[in-house]
């Protein structure tokens, strides 16, 4: 089974690119982030005609996540247990940042769009840390219930776990994505048993999944590695290959992220 994750940065704007990507790489399951639409706003005809089921979760023109599968899609969930609201007060709502479903032969896959954090002194930063803690707790719960559970947390984590995951650490001084609390929150998920299954085959430095549209970051090779497939022990054992489709960052109308693709054989 081939799974992939991609921050698409507006599904309506890039539906044709998604359909072409699925066909070109023969993808079974695709997790999308930043779909930026409510489900009823999406015309899914091209995907459905290609044999895919789609579950989408979006509340407005921001955030939003989806799962696209041709190997079944069951037990769909639209939020992590105990995830914080934004804003974190009586006016807050659970944002559309997580969508989980069971695909194939019992793989629970979560499409995740972790909060950005914005600025170190912004309320969005502690919100991000609490969101990652909710993810860690869900991972711990899954493996406590079944140590052999097939679970994958995939998506845009908005964390660069290591210095080599950004082009220049000096540029990020005083900025989010690289701080120790964020990295510790990411490591906590990994330490529960969810390893980055792509890094062993594609180590850094210089291996990125995101390049800002501004300042010619892509042609300058000034990127960040912030999109991941974190697999439970059962998923780790099933990995037979992986790649980052850097070509999808090229061309007119490209997302600012590249898809991350993993092959599994259970």
In the prediction, which pLDDT does 129 show? 98
- Strand 239-244: give its sheet, edge to edge: 53-57, 65-69, 29-33, 2-7, 260-264, 239-244
In the prediction, which pLDDT does 262 show? 99
* H helices present in 26-113, as ranges: 45-49
The Cα 264–Cα 245 span in angstroms is 17
pLDDT band at 158 (very low <50, low <70, confident <90, very high): very high
Three-state secondary-structure class, residue 18: helix
Instruction: Mark whether 127 is an active-site residue.
Output: no
Active-site option among 52, 113, 125, 208: 113
* Local structure of residue 2 (DSSP, 8 states): E
pLDDT band at 238 (very low <50, low <70, confident <90, very high): very high
**Domains recognised in the chain with CATH numbers:** 2-264 (3.60.10.10)
Supply the mean pLDDT for the chain.
97
Average pLDDT in the 228-239 region? 98
In the prediction, which pLDDT does 201 show? 97
* Local structure of residue 172 (DSSP, 8 states): G
Annotated binding site for Mg(2+): 7, 34, 156, 158, 256-257
pLDDT band at 39 (very low <50, low <70, confident <90, very high): very high
Measured in whole angstroms, how far is the alpha carbon of residue 58 from the centre of its chain? 15
> pLDDT tens across 127-154, in order?
999 999 999 999 999 999 999 999 999 9
pLDDT band at 115 (very low <50, low <70, confident <90, very high): very high
Instruction: Mark whether 89 is an active-site residue.
Output: no
Average pLDDT in the 32-54 region? 98
Annotated binding site: 7, 34, 156, 158, 256-257
> pLDDT tens across 180-232, in order?
999 999 999 999 999 999 999 999 999 999 999 999 999 999 999 999 999 99
Report field, pTM of the whole predicted structure over 0.95: yes
Instruction: Mark whether 257 is an active-site residue.
Output: yes
Contact (Cβ atoms closer than 8 angstroms) between residue 14 and residue 56: no
């Amino acid at each position: 089974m081939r799974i992939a994750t991609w921050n698409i940065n507006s599904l309506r704007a890039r539906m044709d690119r998604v359909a072409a990507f699925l066909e070109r790489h023969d993808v079974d399951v695709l997790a999308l982030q930043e779909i930026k639409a409510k489900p009823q706003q999406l015309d899914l005809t091209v995907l459905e005609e290609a044999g895919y089921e789609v579950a989408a979760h979006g509340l407005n023109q921001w955030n939003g996540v989806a799962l696209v599968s041709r190997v079944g899609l069951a037990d769909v969930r639209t939020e992590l247990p105990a995830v914080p609201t934004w804003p974190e007060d009586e006016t807050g709502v659970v944002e559309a940042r997580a969508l989980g479903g069971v695909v194939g032969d019992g793989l629970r896959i979560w499409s995740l769009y972790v909060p950005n954090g914005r600025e170190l002194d912004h309320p969005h930063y502690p919100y991000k840390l609490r969101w990652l803690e909710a993810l860690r707790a869900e991972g711990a719960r899954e493996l406590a219930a079944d140590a052999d559970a097939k679970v994958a947390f995939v998506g845009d984590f908005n964390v660069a776990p290591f210095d080599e995951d950004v082009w220049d650490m000096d540029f990020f001084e005083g900025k989010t994505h690289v701080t120790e609390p964020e990295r510790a929150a990411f490591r906590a998920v990994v330490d529960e048993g969810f390893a980055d299954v792509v890094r062993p085959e594609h180590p850094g430095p210089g291996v990125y999944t995101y390049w800002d549209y501004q300042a010619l970051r892509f042609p300058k090779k000034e990127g960040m590695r912030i999109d991941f497939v974190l697999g439970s022990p059962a998923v780790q054992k099933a990995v037979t290959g992986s790649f980052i489709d850097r070509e999808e960052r090229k061309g007119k109308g490209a997302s600012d992220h590249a898809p991350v693709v993993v092959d599994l054989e259970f």
